[in-house]
A and B are shown apart, each in its own frame.
Chain A
């Protein structure tokens, strides 16, 4: 991976000027590379990673998430892609993977409460042509996502000065 991408994927707030200093590249070259990555879709977007527990504790009705396993009947010529697209186009679907094993698609679905998610599954998902079966697992607690641990990280306890 290009070093610029490595830096930005850890902290997107670091400026092109700072990246230039870190990588010993000209500022203009760094800016141009970032523009290229943004244009070609390598960098999709910049966003903050939020701790859901902190947000939920401040919120009267925190949203509910569920992992949903979906078994589908693949279609001629297009396999799983067309039916997957029909499914992931719903706003409620936050992520969608085609997986190996005893089912086909693994979704993360978000709703305002258990009823909304259940409603989505029964009226939108299960009723869809080619969807054979669904299994819904409501998520209870998030410990780690994309390599980030949500608990306060263990900090190294160093002295302030040593040889």
Chain B
């Protein structure tokens, strides 16, 4: 065996086999996808094509194109009233995924701890482990709308905690936070002296209130490693482009790792991102209105079917509790059965943490006709189950 102990000990993804099953199947209505169903707006694709034609095929500076970093900083000022130094406090990364990896590697000494909420995106805890740290789970529940609260943080906190990874709006729950809820979390961060690694990649898809970036809270900018990207808001997942803003020393440390591992994000993607941030605002609003309607439709339909579904405030996921309605059938069995009998794909909750096995994640980043058909098939599935 040549594989390191650290990697070998990483928990395997329990539902890899299920994923393979779905990927091998044809003519499936998929509610299992974590990316927009819109094609990247044409002006953004066209800019990327044009940059290739013009011969932009080289490396960029490690930190990313100056033009793009300046544009993002300008955008943050206009959108949220935030100020960052474009050269010392901003780094362009290969998606938010890379930014997360860099962040934990830049701040953790061996054995230090990071608070991670559950359910959450699958990569958080493994990335902490790969960086030599120890993830501390903050379990959130449907009863609280899957929110991280000061009480839960206090309970999970241990000596040696360096940071909290917070994702809002959240994949897979759609949960987001109002300003006052965030202020309560910030208070704990100050008292316990830890950083916030804030993954706000779904920020533009917040439906019921204004999104508040964590870095805008009083006294928090120096404590927040603020990351976002172009994947969700501009439907640019395949371009693999994200950014991170934060305290100068942390960004410098992250840049050091980035320059040894990645060098720089692909230039064609960076050029496309320049176009997105300058001229993408209208398209974003159109997509957001469409997602909001789909959200309302899917949440009400799921509740009508007898599942318990809280109202997600953002992103494009619903995360209903299904096992009560299914009288004991596990969510993984339900997902397999539904795939086999009705050809509808969704993601069983245990993908997002051991405590989520009563739930499934339903992505409404799918056309309205698809959603309607999927709901009809789930209804048919429930009706044809033996009593």
**Chain A residues in the interface with B (C-beta under 8 A):** 3, 6-7, 11, 14, 18, 21-24, 154-156, 158-163
Q: Which 9 A-B pairs have the closest CB atoms?
A: A161-B32, A22-B293, A160-B30, A161-B22, A162-B34, A156-B39, A21-B297, A22-B297, A163-B122
Q: Which of B226-276 contact A (CB under 8 A)?
A: none
Contact between chains at B22 and A3 (CB < 8 Å):
no
Q: Are B35 and A158 in contact (CB under 8 A)?
A: yes
B289 & A162 in contact (Cβ 8 Å cutoff): no
Once A155-B39, A156-B39 are accepted as A-B contacts, the answer to whether A161 and B19 lie under 8 Å apart by CB is: yes
- A3-B289, A6-B289, A21-B301 given as contacts; is B296 within 8 A of A162 (CB)? no
Which residues of A are found within 8 Å of B293, using beta-carbon distances?
Answer: 3, 7, 22-23
Establish whether residues B23 and A163, one from each chain, have CB atoms under 8 Å apart when the complex forms. Answer: no
Query: Bound complex: CA of A156 vs CA of B36, how far in Å?
Result: 9
Name the B residues within 8 Å of A159 (CB-CB).
Answer: 23, 33
Interface majority SS (helix, strand, loop, mixed), chain A: loop
Q: A161-B19, A161-B23 are in contact. Are A156 and B38 (CB under 8 A)?
A: yes
Asked whether, in the complex, the Cβ of B37 is within 8 Å of the Cβ of A156, the reply is yes
State whether A161 and B296 are in contact (beta carbons under 8 Å apart), knowing that A21-B301, A154-B39, A156-B37 are contacts in the complex.
no
B291-312 to A contact mask, C-beta < 8 Å, 1/0:
0011011001100000000000
Bound-complex Cα distance A49 to B121 (A): 42
Tell me if A160 and B345 are in contact (CB < 8 A): yes
Give the residue of B301, B351, B368, B372 whose beta carbon is less than 8 angstroms from that of A163.
Answer: B351
The contact size tier of chain B is: 20 to 34
Assembly CA distance A14 to B293 (angstroms): 12
Q: How far is the CA of A159 from the CA of B26 in the complex (A)?
A: 11
Question: Which residues of the other chain, B, contact A11 by a CB distance below 8 angstroms?
Answer: 368
Alpha-carbon distance between A160 and B301 when the two chains are bound, in angstroms: 22
Q: How far is the CA of A158 from the CA of B171 in the complex (A)?
A: 18
Chain B residues near A3 (CB-CB < 8 A): 289, 293
Known: A7-B293, A155-B39, A163-B347. 6 other contacts (CB 8 A): A23-B293, A158-B33, A161-B22, A162-B32, A162-B33, A163-B122
For this complex, 26 residue pairs linking A to B, each with C-beta atoms less than 8 Å apart, are A3-B289, A3-B293, A14-B368, A18-B297, A21-B297, A21-B300, A22-B294, A22-B297, A156-B38, A158-B30, A158-B33, A158-B35, A159-B23, A159-B33, A160-B32, A160-B33, A161-B23, A161-B30, A161-B32, A162-B33, A162-B34, A162-B35, A163-B34, A163-B123, A163-B347, A163-B351
Q: Does B28 contact A (CB under 8 A)?
A: yes
A22 to B37, CA, bound (A): 18
How far is B204's CA from A59's CA once the two chains are assembled, in angstroms? 48
Docked pose: A24 CA to B299 CA in angstroms: 11
A156's closest neighbor in chain B, by CB?
B39
Q: Pick from A11, A24, A155 the residue with the most CB of B within 10 Å.
A: A24
Question: For the complex, is B82 an interface residue (Cβ under 8 Å from A)?
Answer: no
Nearest A residue to B20, CB-CB = A161
